[in-house]
A = this chain, B = another copy of it.
Amino acid sequence: MKHYGLSMMPEKTRRWQMTEIRLNGPCEGNPYTEQHAEAEIISCGEHVHVQGFYDGEGVYLIRFMPIYEGEYQVKVSASFMEPVSGKIQVLEPEEGNHGPVRVCNNAHFAYEDGTPYYSIGTTCYVWLWQTDELIAQTLETLKNSAFNKIRFCVFPKHYNYNLKEPRSYPYEGTPVDSSGLTPENFNQMNQKSEGNDWDFTRFNPVHFRHLDWCIEQLQELGIEADMILFHPYDRWGFSCMGRENDERYLRYMMARYAAYRNVWWSLANEYDILKDKTIADWEYIAQTIVECDPYRHPRSIHNCWAMYDHNRPWITHCSMQRQETYRTAELTTDWRRQYRKPVVLDEICYEGNIQFGWGNISGQEMVRRFWEAAVRGGYPGHGETYLGHNDVLWWSHGGVLHSESHKRFRFLLDVMKETPGIGLRTSPECRWDEVYGIPEDRQLEGTYFLYYYSFMCPSFRTFRLDENSRYQVTVLDTWEMTREDRGVFSGTFNVELPGKPYMAIQIKKV
């Protein structure tokens, strides 16, 4: 018998840093079900219990994320050893680490250190289950982009343009034979478990070590990892494992990933088309996450057709898919009023040219939807579905970006960051033919206005502001990404515009 016990506990770590304690333990039998490890993490500011998990080859890991600086006491116990204690010094966070993202003002996000977080998301469902080369390309693309959130799946994806096998599977076992799949017949296998042979009590450490690495890469890039825990595009049976296996999976995920500051939980992509799950199942899943994630990461659930009841208390923010063919981002104001939670537009169609209407809008239309959402204080998300690049579509596989829209998001993000306080809201005084955002913070009312004219092409607009205040006026071309300073005005004044679409006017009280 090998020596069981603590093999590594760090002396020092940093605030909001995933911190890992390693134990040696048995690899005989089924360590996933027969053993357990956990720790109590105590500082003057917090006292949390975290569960460890088995990482294969006799290694057990316990992860936590210290929320405070200073001395932490750590008490480790496990089924295979006597309890041990230790102390870990938590230093200030490294440069650029602002902590996990939290909801604030019932409508917006900020990092835990108070820095506003203006989400500019993208979706690459299974970028991390591609080849090393493609993954490296995706990370390089992300590094040079404005994206600060990415949605992706823990499980592989089965769909048109997604018929290959993933680089690894989450469980030990063998997958169904996929050699006869074509774009015409693939749907017959969807959400069926037949032909697969998985041991749902044995996770595949290779799959999850790779996921660790991907989350760490995203963290280095300052990108939030919005992880989709379940989804309907599945031929391996992961969408219909049954409640017991779902719960084991969720507990493993929470133990393994809750300590990463950049993790978000998306319970599902398109929960409403998972045939095997009921609302009661989703509520049970939610309850398990709430119970097992001591760090309260953002939690959402994404619809296909019917929205989930975003009033549910465990939902931290609304994760929206387009609701109509012709409008979506424009509905942000209504959704904010209805739910009083941040509105994240995780799918407002993809820029591209595939055959499906959800995947073939133009760059102009995508950027328009981004601005429509942003001036209303919503948080838009991008995606791309361009054919013609060896069937590598950013939407699922990552790679390089081919869109026109993504080039324009840094400009938007820069403008969003100029908002006084944290976040915009739709002015209640908007006329029907203009939308403008004002600061969410009531105390800052009257100091800032961001007007957006969408597809409208006015050659001027008239403003009626306070006679006794002075306002700096800047005209923004959201497509060309230009800013034109128009000087300082008071009272009633006209602002000339070029009579073309996609213009915005930013007005700051000086």
Q: Could you tell me which A residues sit within 8 Å of B by CB distance?
A: 324-327, 330, 352-358, 360-362, 365, 387-388, 431-434, 454-462, 499-501
Contact = CB atoms under 8 A, between A and B. Distances in A.
A357 B459 contact: no
Nearest to A328: B326
B362 A457 contact: yes
Contacts of A460: 355
Contacts of A461: 355
B387 A459 contact: yes
Q: Counting chain B CB atoms within 10 Å of each CB, which of A358, A433, A454 scores highest?
A: A433
A357 B387 contact: no
Contacts of A462: 355
Contact of A327 (B327, B355, B357, B360): B327
Given A356-B433, A360-B456, 13 more contacts: A325-B433, A353-B458, A354-B458, A354-B459, A355-B459, A356-B458, A357-B432, A360-B457, A360-B499, A361-B455, A365-B455, A387-B459, A388-B459
8 contacts: A324-B327, A354-B458, A355-B461, A357-B431, A357-B433, A360-B456, A361-B457, A362-B501
A325 B358 CA distance: 22
Nearest to A324: B327
Contact of A358 (B358, B433, B499): B433
Nearest to A455: B365
A361 B325 contact: no
A430 B110 CA distance: 43
A462 B187 CA distance: 16
Nearest to A430: B325
Interchain residue pairs A-B with the least CB separation, the first 5: A357-B433, A353-B499, A353-B459, A360-B457, A360-B458
Nearest to A349: B456
Contact of A456 (B361, B433, B454, B455): B361
A454 B460 CA distance: 28
A357 B431 CA distance: 9
Contacts of A387: 459
Q: Counting chain B CB atoms within 10 Å of each CB, which of A327, A387, A432, A456 scores highest?
A: A456
A388 to B, nearest CB: 8
A326 B325 contact: no
A457 B458 CA distance: 26
A70 to B, nearest CB: 53
A393 to B, nearest CB: 12
A500 B386 CA distance: 12
A55 to B, nearest CB: 44
Contacts of A353: 457-459, 499
A406 B177 CA distance: 57
A17 B462 CA distance: 50
Nearest to A431: B357
